[in-house]
Structure 1
Amino acid sequence: MDLKEIQNLIKFVANSGVAEVKLEMDDVKITIRTTLEGNVSEATYVQMPAQPALQPVAVPQQIAPAPATPAAPAVENSNYVTVKSPMIGTFYRKPSPDKPMFVEVGSTVAKGDVLCVIEAMKLFNEIESEVSGKIVKILVDDMSPVEYDQPLFLVDPS
């Protein structure tokens, strides 16, 4: 099971309204717990040594309708580059509570500069700028959950 499949499973469980799902296959054991609001509160992934296949836990087939995500506001200048989240997790604008923000609106960034971190399964992943330019808008609040491919920043590459 690769990272993309695990992310899709977490998204499915968060939107389904199920409180907990345990899945065991060949050499993988996954447990996902959600809160009443549908946010993933805990996800555990364990790679087990090779052993006889275990039976997967049944997951309800009925899917609750996904809550509508608000559309991003229209941007006057279509020349901006949108930096999107490469994963599901929690968005942080600074490396630790006592450190300054990575970037602010108006900051000039170079390609490869760290813009934020996203915590996924207790791992903090640095998100780097894909382009050089100036931060025009920060689209997500600090310590907010983010979805895969969700816009995080608008960068003016000019």
Structure 2
Amino acid sequence: MDIKEIQNLIKFVAKSGATEVKLEMDDFKITIKTTPEGAETTYIQQMPMTTAMPMMAQPTATQPEHVVAEVAPAANENANLIVVKSPMIGTFYRKPSPDKPSFAEVGSTIKAGDVLCVIEAMKLFNEIESEVSGKIVKVLIDDASPVEFDQPLFLVDPS
């Protein structure tokens, strides 16, 4: 099961209203539990190998996977701001590498399609692109921090 299938499963569980879903495959087990507040907790557990077979190497991506961030109107004191949310679970990085500058800084102007950050999930670095044009008002996550699915990452002023 790849990351997109896991993301789709999480979205389906969130929309279905189910409180717990367990999926067990040959080499892993996934449990998704929703709490009364609507937050999801996902556990992915590798199953122990029962035979002494050599592990197959997983294919590595030569190019980062392009993922488009979901955007939703902010429901806080400044209603004209747009919240850019994480489309996946992983580790949030503001830079393409430690020696490079950040993709987006507070005050920088962005346009639709610009890369805002990178989220590492299962050893793959996924570029998160903006769906809106505007100005970055606030970065809500610290660099190299874990993020959850649908967690707010940036506040963007579209004006």
TM-score (norm 2): 0.58
- TM (norm. structure 1) is 0.59
1:6 aligned residue:
6
Report 1:25-36 matches (<5 A). 30-31=27-28
Runs of 4+ in 1 over 6 A off after TM superposition: 38-44
Partner of 1:124: 125
Give me the whole-angstrom Cα distance separating, in 1, the residues matched to 2:125 and 2:3.
15
1:7 to partner: Cα distance: 4.3
Q: The residue matched to 2:6 in structure 1 has which SS?
A: helix
Give percent identity, aligned residues only.
74
CA distance in 2, matches of 1:41, 1:3: 11
Equivalent residue letter for 1:139: L
Q: Is the 8 A contact 1:95 1:101 kept in 2?
A: yes
Q: Is the 8 A contact 2:116 2:129 kept in 1?
A: yes
- Note closer, same or farther for the CA distance 1:8–1:112 as it changes in structure 2 (3 Å cut): closer
Aligned-CA RMSD value: 3.4
Structure 2: 5+ residue runs without aligned partners?
Answer: 11-23, 30-40, 48-74
CA–CA distance in 1 between the matches of 2:127 and 2:90? 12
* Alpha-carbon distance between aligned partners in 1 of 2:46 and 2:126, rounded to the nearest angstrom: 16
* 1:136 partner letter: V
Q: Distance in 1 between matches of 2:101 and 2:43?
A: 27
Instruction: Mark the CA change 1:145 to 1:130 in structure 2 (over 3 Å): closer, same or farther.
Output: same
Amino acid corresponding to residue 146 of structure 2 in structure 1: P
Structure 1 match to 2:116: 115
Q: Which residue of 1 aligns with 2:134?
A: 133
Inter-CA distance 103–40: structure 2 relative to 1 (3 Å threshold): farther
Q: 1:89-138: per-residue Cα shift (whole Å, max 9, x none)?
A: 00000000110011111010011000000001111000001100000011
Conserved 8 A contact 2:96-2:103: yes
Residue 104 (structure 2) pairs with residue 83 (structure 1):
no
Q: Using the alignment, how far apart are the partners of 1:93 and 1:43 within structure 2? A: 29
User: Residue 89 and residue 133 in structure 1: after superposition, are their counterparts in 2 closer, same or farther (change >3 A)?
Assistant: same
